[in-house]
Amino acid sequence: RFSLVFLMFFQLGLSAQESNIEKPAIIPQPAEVEWKDDFFTLQERTVVCFNTGAEASAAWLHRLLQNTYTQSYTMKGDNCNGFNLNLNPELEETLGKEGYNLDISSSTVNLEAATEAGLFYAIQTLRQILPAGIENEKVLEEIQLPQVSITDSPRFAWRGTMLDVARSFFGPDYIKKHIDRMAFYKLNKLHLHLTDDQGWRIEIKQKPKLTELGSKGAVKGGRSGFLTQEEYKEIQEYAAARNIVIVPEIDIPGHIYAALMAYPELNCDDLSNIEPKRATPPQLFHGYEVGWSKFCLDKPEIYDFVSTVLGEVAEITTGDYLHIGGDEIEDERYKEFVIKADSIVQGLGKTTIGWEEVTQAAVDTTFISQRWNGKTKSVVKTPIIESICSSFYFDHANVPGQEMTNNWCQERGVSLKDTYTFKVTNPNTIGVEAPVWTEMVLSDEAADDRFWPRSIAMAEVGWTKDENKDYNGFLKRLGAQGLRLDFMDVNYFRSPEVEWN
Ligand code: TNX
């Protein structure tokens, strides 16, 4: 279709730049794009040349081209007639760690970046310029790519989603699928909410009852289960190959009933007197209430528990961060707890993240806070991950009245526009992240429906500078992604404001 439209304009003597020709829909919108009025035609045989350090990128590109008629082969070298991958650390000065240049001319497609992450993103952009059919099967008809020169780098370093695997469990298969989709839109942090009242989802070898007992529950109708440390590591490796860092959250000192049930000595009395779980012997919790369980902050043993658990999680985590939750809890000793937990995390060589409440404690500025309801004034004291519920809580309805959604933050839910038009103004903001809490998200299909397409809007908030954003333009580009999302098997919500193709 592109070739036809382009040809027509050619004859009229218009350049693609000036014309209204439908351009490939790239999301997130790159920093600088200059379309030319000519093509690159994919040959039947194509070489992918790469230099030292770009081997993995060459493999990715080769894999992408397998879905076209071309027979591609990889070769170490430069300036090939075909595809060139150039890893050049010196480019970090101009492109940053994740930026790239993508240049499509008459006989070459050049991709360059300072890191493999940058090359990976250049390939994702190229993937969006190639016909959508490559997501589905081999494209056999001739492929002509519009010539273009793109220079791109992200606005923010933190572009994340959060999956609550505690209320309802999501295992390695879904998590990996989710990672693939995130990577396509240049999202780079996957926060896993691994523990809560309803379930404990990560194996801790020195505290086996956490999973023996604590993983058996879930919200009513939700799945239970847990990740073994091996599975966790495998997911992490899968993510790292796609420039995604796994951010594990162990939510303490509240939201902790699954652990209290396994180790009742962490509670102040026996469990029979904590609401809403008044039961002897203790039962699993399948409800929705929040803010009712907590560690007994007067007992020094809880710090041994925290050290052991965070120690094992730190050991299997390659990323720099440990999220300690810290939300929705009232206790005289809360601040003291947060400071101690932070120093445990620092002792493990990681950076602490907590929900915005943690900033009530006098933690230093290496601590990152995640803003969610904006009620904690002190949140501005630290670097901020922006997850304000009215724009980024995707467990909320896509449209007013959608069933099985939490709408405590905003009665009408969180629309695509609420997400897209969020403006980052606080200079401490390091990026954005969208959580899907799963009290009411009980299946893979439902999780897809909540994440997509709003995560695509958020990806553009995280990547693209305000001056290059435009909601109507975004809606058009998003419509053109429909086919790709279908091919990727995403059960996305068909937002009525979008003309899906
Ligand atoms: C608030 S936001 C929570 C979660 C709930 C969610 C439901 C935050 C840090 N905690 O425990 O699942 O609302 O929307």
What residue owns the CA closest to ligand 1's atom 13?
A: 437
Q: Can you give the pLDDT at residue 22?
A: 60
State which ligand 1 atom lies nearest to the alpha carbon of 408: 14
Instruction: Pick the residue whose CA is nearest to atom 5 on ligand 1.
Output: 437
Q: How far apart are CA 493 and CA 292, in angstroms?
A: 33
The three-point CA angle 78-130-147 to 5° equals 60
Q: 394 CB under 6 A from ligand 1?
A: no
Q: Which CATH number fits domain 158-465+482-487: 3.20.20.80, 3.30.70.120, 3.90.550.10, 3.40.50.1820?
A: 3.20.20.80
Please state the pTM of the whole predicted model: 0.95
Per-residue pLDDT tens digits for 170-195: 999 999 999 999 999 999 999 999 99
Query: What does DSSP assign to residue 137?
Result: S
Q: How many residues does the chain have?
A: 501
Give residue 363's pLDDT.
80
Tell me the CA distances in angstroms from 57 to 61, 90, 116, 122, 178, one per residue in order: 6, 18, 7, 10, 21
Q: What's the distance, CA 70 to chain centroid? A: 32
Whether pLDDT at 63 is above 90: yes
Q: Residue 7: what pLDDT? A: 44
pLDDT tens digits along 323-360: 999 999 999 999 999 999 999 999 999 999 999 999 99
**Phi, psi values for residue 246, rounded to 5°:** -85, 130
Q: What is the Cα–Cα distance from 295 to 282, expressed in whole angstroms?
A: 16
Ligand 1 within 6 A of CB of 355: yes
Candidates 257, 258, 252; CA nearest to 216 is 258
Query: Residue 294: which residues within 8 A CB-CB, separation 6 or more?
Result: 253, 254, 256, 329, 331
Amino acid (1-letter code) at residue 337: F
- Per-residue model confidence as pLDDT tens digits over 113-167: 999 999 999 999 999 999 999 999 999 999 999 999 999 999 999 999 999 999 9
Assigned CATH topology for domain 2-152: Chitobiase; domain 2 (3.30.379)
Looking at residue 281, what is its pLDDT? 74
Note the ipTM here: 0.92
Estimate the crossing angle of helix 172-184 against helix 444-451, to 10 degrees.
20
Residue 379 CB: number of other CB atoms within 10 A? Answer: 22
Question: Cα separation of 134 and 148, whole Å?
Answer: 20
In tens, the pLDDT along 245-304 reads 999 999 999 999 999 999 999 999 888 878 887 777 778 999 999 999 999 999 999 999
- 280 CA → ligand 1 middle, Å: 28
Q: With 50 as the cut, is the pLDDT of residue 20 above it?
A: no
- Start and end residues for every CATH 3.30.379.10 domain found in the chain: 2-152
Mean pLDDT, the chain, whole residue set: 94
The tokens describing 244, both together, are: 């995604």
**Ranges of CATH 3.20.20.80 domains, the chain:** 158-465+482-487
